[in-house]
Structure 1
Amino acid sequence: MPDGPWSWAAFAVAAAAAQTVRNAAQRQLTQTLGTVGATHVRFLFGFPFAVAFLGLIVLASGTTPPLPPLAFWPFVTSGALTQIAATAMMLAAMGERSFLVVTAYTKTEPVQVALFGLVMLGDPVTLPMATAIVIATTGVVLMSLRPGQTGGGARPMALGLASAALFALSAIGYRGAILSLPTDFVTAAGTTLCLALLIQAVLLSAWLALRDRAVLIAVLRAWRPSLLAGFMGALASQLWFSAFALTSAANVRTVALVEVLFAQAITRFAFKQRTTARELLGIALIVAGVALLLWVH
């Protein structure tokens, strides 16, 4: 894979598209498997595809996956655990609120990613970059707000914002893990993805086997509709991780706000939900912020 100056942005946009499809597939599975079951689908059925992706990378490059150093494990473990919690919270919010609006809540993530990345990894935040993040995030917040919103919207908002914070921590954990591997960026991304999904699949399977075996059985029985969510989840993660290997997580997650545009299409054509003028203005700000970030790079 190329690692030119624009590669990370191309990876991020492609990942956002794949993730939108995965989120929509998981949302449908939530109705039959519940929040935890639909969350598990992403990891359990994503792992075989991640292994296949890494195999293709090895065949194409001839590079052997590296033995992870000790510094790798705290990063990948924290990334895996926070991603589990973030996904569960996101799906729980989607069960109570518009698909587009919950996607918008979770996309307050770039501001948190920039702060976490600066503190934990030393990733710099320049003034133009901070401006772009603020503009794009303002668009997300504008889309999320509703005039006269009552307390009935407080729970999905809290779940969405908490999900964003955990996704931010997960992104920082994964970037730290990828950077600790002594190999090329795409092999590092594939290796990290495989080990992260292995951790997640084993932990959630064990938890369900002990606490709710009926859900685990239902997940295994629903393998046919789960394959799409698993494949798109693994594909999105491979692309995210490749982008994390090339630039800061804040850059990647800001460009990832284009997912709201893809969610808009899903909302309108699949779920038949209207788009308001406020949401359109928010989308315009998101596009402006992402365009500014790309321009300063």
Structure 2
Amino acid sequence: MTTSSLLWIPVTLAAAAAQTGRNATQRRLTETIGTVGATQVRFLYGFPFALLALGLVRLVLGEPVPAPEGMFMPFVLGGATAQILATALMLAAMRERSFSVVTAYMKTEPVQVALFGVAILGDPLSPGVALGIGVATAGVVLMSLKPGARLGAAGLRPTVYGIASGAFFALAAIGFRGAILALPEGSFVMRSTATLAWALGTQTVLLLVWLGAFDRKALVASFRAWRPSLGAGFLGALASQFWFVGFSLTTAANVRTLALVEVLMAQAVSHRLLSQATTRREVLGMALILAGVGLLLLAQH
């Protein structure tokens, strides 16, 4: 196995670290500019950094920017829309539950990919895969239920938001990897960087139109909060750059599986930066989710 074939491992770890910082920054922004406004800043303020990265890659590598053709734009549009929905659902869940717990909900993403395969593609569900899904689901239920409490609407809502967020992030990963592979030419760095610029540009336009039509107050607030938003935009663009490079080197499943280390990173952020305690019950739930995802992946080899 060559060094280049292993490059996706450090790239993915760097993406997970940058994404943890971005998520924490966005979560703080929801308190001042709302969920939709905080969703928009990662794209609006990340887009200039993506263009800068594209210019630097073109300058350093001396390659032309590949022109979009074929299925590139449908993949970009699908991935961009799914990521917007995933981010909004993630931030909505984080307003009601611990940062690390919501991150763990989202990390049911590989499990949901398997379920999508059964429902949409008719992929077979082996006993090993079914066991993995069962263990991970048990972890989610354990984390969402408090001892002696009934699961009412208030407790169910953030759980549903978090799991749905993971589902849309899974669809986004598939869309973006499809777009990168659809580009006809260029190195993996150029194709991933060009795809990122198109994706963030598309997301910026979609959210500006939406906010301009339905929530101008949040749009104005996002412009006023430009200083913290710049940080979220930079971390978001940095994380996405690493994710996209990872998608260009290996399957989205490999990248998103290794990204489960983000659960541990998020727990550290909750304790040190957000002063949020993680209970033993939640720790056990996160362990079950990770174990379930591990069983799922082992069954697929």
What residue is the counterpart of 1:83 in the other structure? 83
Q: Considering only aligned residues, what root-mean-square deviation do their CA atoms show, in Å?
A: 3.1
**Matched residues, number:** 294
The answer for the alignment partner of 1:258 in structure 2 is: 261
Distance of 1:220 and 1:211 partners within structure 2: 16
Query: For residue 62 of structure 1, what is the aligned residue in structure 2?
Result: 62
Displacement of 1:52 in angstroms is 1.2
- Asked if structure 2 preserves the Cα contact closer than 8 Å seen for 1:80 and 1:200, the reply is yes
Alignment of 1:74-113 (within 5 A): 74-113=74-113
Check conservation: 1:14, 1:239, Cα contact below 8 A: yes
Q: Is the 8 A contact 1:109 1:168 kept in 2?
A: yes
Pair 1:278 & 2:277 matched: no
**TM-aligned CA deviation for residue 70 of structure 1:** 2.2
Aligned to 1:168: 170
Cα distance 1:131–1:15, how it changes in 2: closer, same or farther (>3 A)? farther
Check whether the contact 1:135–1:286 (CA below 8 A) recurs between aligned residues: no
- For 1:177 and 1:118, the matched residues in 2 are separated by 23
1:237 corresponds in structure 2 to: 240
Q: Secondary structure at the match of 2:110?
A: helix
Judge conservation of contact 2:118–2:125 (CA < 8 Å) in 1.
no
Q: Separation in 1 of the partners of 2:135 and 2:51?
A: 34
Unpaired stretches in structure 2, ≥5 consecutive residues:
none
Residue 150 of structure 1 deviates from its aligned partner by: 2.6
The reply on whether 1:226 has 2:229 as its aligned counterpart is yes
- The answer to whether the 8 A contact 1:139-1:284 is kept is no
Find the aligned partners of 2:14 and 2:134 in 1 and give their Cα distance: 22
Q: Distance in 1 between matches of 2:252 and 2:124?
A: 11
Asked if the contact 2:132/2:294 (under 8 Å) is kept, the reply is no
What do residues 249-280 of structure 1 show as CA deviations (whole Å, max 9, x unaligned)? 11111111111111000111112222222333
Quick one: percent identity of the two aligned structures?
Answer: 58
Change (3 A) 1:111 1:276: same
How far the C-alpha of 1:73 sits from its partner, in A, is 0.9
> Are the counterparts in 2 of residues 89 and 163 from structure 1 also a CA contact under 8 Å?
yes
Partner of 2:187: 184
Q: Which amino acid aligns with 1:90?
A: M
8 Å contact 2:143–2:286 — kept in the other structure? Answer: no
User: How is 1:13-52 mapped onto 2 (pairs within 5 angstroms)?
Assistant: 13-52=13-52
CA gap of 1:15–1:118, structure 2 versus 1, over 3 A, is: farther
* 1:144 equivalent in structure 2: 143
CA distance in 2, matches of 1:93, 1:100: 11
For the Cα contact (< 8 Å) 1:49–1:234, is it kept in 2?
yes
Q: Which residue of 2 aligns with 1:153?
A: 155
Q: Report the TM-score, using the length of structure 2 for normalisation.
A: 0.86
Aligned to 1:269: 272
Contact 2:86 2:165 survives alignment (8 Å): yes
Distance in 2 of aligned mates of 1:15 and 1:117: 26
Structure 1 residue 24, shift from structure 2 partner = 0.5
- TM-score, normalization: structure 1? 0.87
Partner secondary structure for residue 5 of structure 2 = coil
1:114-143: per-residue Cα shift (whole Å, max 9, x none)? 55579999xx9999x969975994696376
Shift of the 12–130 alpha-carbon distance from structure 1 to 2, 3 Å rule, reads farther
Cα distance in 1 for residues equivalent to 2:8 and 2:217: 41
Residue type at the aligned position of 1:96: E
For 1:203, the equivalent position in structure 2 comes to: 206
Matches of 1:233 and 1:136 in 2, distance apart? 31
CA 1:282–1:96 in structure 2 vs 1: closer, same or farther (change >3 Å)?
Answer: closer
Q: Is the 8 A contact 1:139 1:281 kept in 2?
A: no
Query: Is the 2:144–2:159 Cα contact (8 Å) retained in structure 1?
Result: no
> Are 1:79 and 1:171, in contact at CA under 8 Å, matched by a contact in 2?
yes
